[in-house]
Amino acid sequence: MASAGSQVAELASKLYDACVNEFDPDHLFYQNDFLNLKIIPKNDVALLLQCAQSLVDQNLFRLLQKDGKLTWRLIDREDAEKLRNLTPDEAMVYNVIHSTGRTGIWVRHIGSRTNLHKSILDRCLKSLEGKNYIKSLHNVKYPSRKMYMLAGLAPSEEVTGGAWFTDGVLDANFINTVAGFIEFTVSKMSWYEVPASESGRNKRIKTASGKADVKSDEKTYLPYPHGYKGYPNVEMITSAVNSSGITPVRLGEESVVQLMEMLCYDNKLVSLGAGEFYRSLQSPSVIQANQKRKPPTEGDDLAVVNKHLVKNGMTEAPCGQCPVFRLCSPGGAVSPETCEYFDPWLSNGLGF
C-alpha cells in the first residue's frame, strides 16, 4: 500500500511537471488532456484519479467543474506553498477570493459561498490580510460594500470606474483639465487659420457684411467646407493628450472616447460619421476666451449663463424664475398685482 502510495506521489509529481511544461498556466485540463500526456501507465483512469486527487490535496491542482465535467487547473508551486500554510477555512476563503479575479468579491458573497460563520470568516480575512495575501478594495458602483481581492492583482476598470476616478471618487479637476485640452485641440484641427497675409482681406469682408470688427492682432479662423476629411479622430486626440504631459498616467482610447462623448453632450464637439471624426463648434480663439473667463465669474452664475445660450422669453420674464409661479393667480395671495418681482425687473430693464 505504501509503495502504491509512493508510486502515486511519484506519478503525480511527474504529471504536474509535464503539465507545467506542456501547457500554459491558465489552461483548463480535462481528463483527456492528462491521458494524452502518456504518463499514466495503460491509461488507467482510476490511477489518474488518485494522482489528481493527491495533487489537489497538495494544492497544486485546483478542482473545477465545467459543463458537468470535472476539470483541473494548475497552481504555481509558490501559491501552493502559501495555501498549504493556511488553515482549511482560510484556504477556502482564499480560493473563493481567487476565483473572482480582478473584480473582487463582497464579504457577504464570500460568506454565502463558503457557508462559514461570520466570526470565523472575519478571522480568516484578517489573517489573510495580515499575511498580505489579499487586500480590500473600493468599488465605485457599490461604495458601501466591503470587498476583497488578491493582493497581487490590480483592480479592473469596472471596479475603479476607469481613468476618471481617483480612489473611487470622480476627479472633477482632472476631467476639466483634460476636457479643456481636448476641446482646444479638436478646435485647432477643425478650423482653418487664415495666414497673416490673408487676414487683412478677411477683416475687410467681415466689416462690409455688417459683422463686428475683427481686431487686428486676433487670428481669423474659417470653417472647413462640407466633406472635409481632416477632422481629428479618437486616436489622434488620444496621442495628443498622452504626449501633452497633462496626465500622470497614460489614458486609454476608451477613456478619451468617454470624455469626448461628454463634450458632445456639452455641445462643444460634434461627432461626425457615427463617432469617426470630431469637430468643434467654436473656433480656438473663442474657446480660449471662454476658458480664461471662467475662474472670475464662477461665483455669480447668472452672468455666465446669460452669455452662454441666448436668452428666451421665459428666462427673461420675471415669471420664468419666479419661485411661486404655480401659486400665482389674479386676486390670490400671489398675484400679478402684488408681484414683487415686476418692479425691480421693470426698473432694471429701463435703466432707472
Residue ranges that bind other proteins, judged by CB under 8 A: 141, 161-162, 164, 169-170, 172, 175, 191-192, 194-198, 201-202, 205-206, 208-211, 222-228, 230, 258-259, 261-262, 265-267, 270-272, 279, 281, 301, 305-306, 308-317, 319-321, 325, 328, 330, 336-337, 339, 342, 346, 349-350, 352
Largest alpha-carbon pair distance within the chain? 110
CA torsion 191-310-202-208 (nearest 10°) is 160
Shortest gap between Cβ of 300 and other proteins (angstroms)? 12
Closer Cβ to other proteins, 116 or 189, answer by number = 189
Helices (H) and strands (E) in the chain, counts: 17, 12
Shortest gap between Cβ of 266 and other proteins (angstroms)? 6
Q: Could you tell me the CA-to-CA distances from 265 to 115, 309, 310 in Å, in that order? A: 47, 14, 18
Shortest gap between Cβ of 337 and other proteins (angstroms)? 5
Closest among 226, 240, 222, 235 to 272, alpha carbons compared? 226
Closer Cβ to other proteins, 37 or 281, answer by number = 281
Shortest gap between Cβ of 16 and other proteins (angstroms)? 44
Closer Cβ to other proteins, 249 or 265, answer by number = 265
What are the grid coordinates assigned to 155, written together?
A: 483592480
Shortest gap between Cβ of 250 and other proteins (angstroms)? 19
Closer Cβ to other proteins, 37 or 339, answer by number = 339
CA angle in degrees (0–180, nearest 5) for 254-260-263? 150
Which residues make Cβ contacts (< 8 Å) with residue 282, sequence separation at least 6? 187, 268, 290
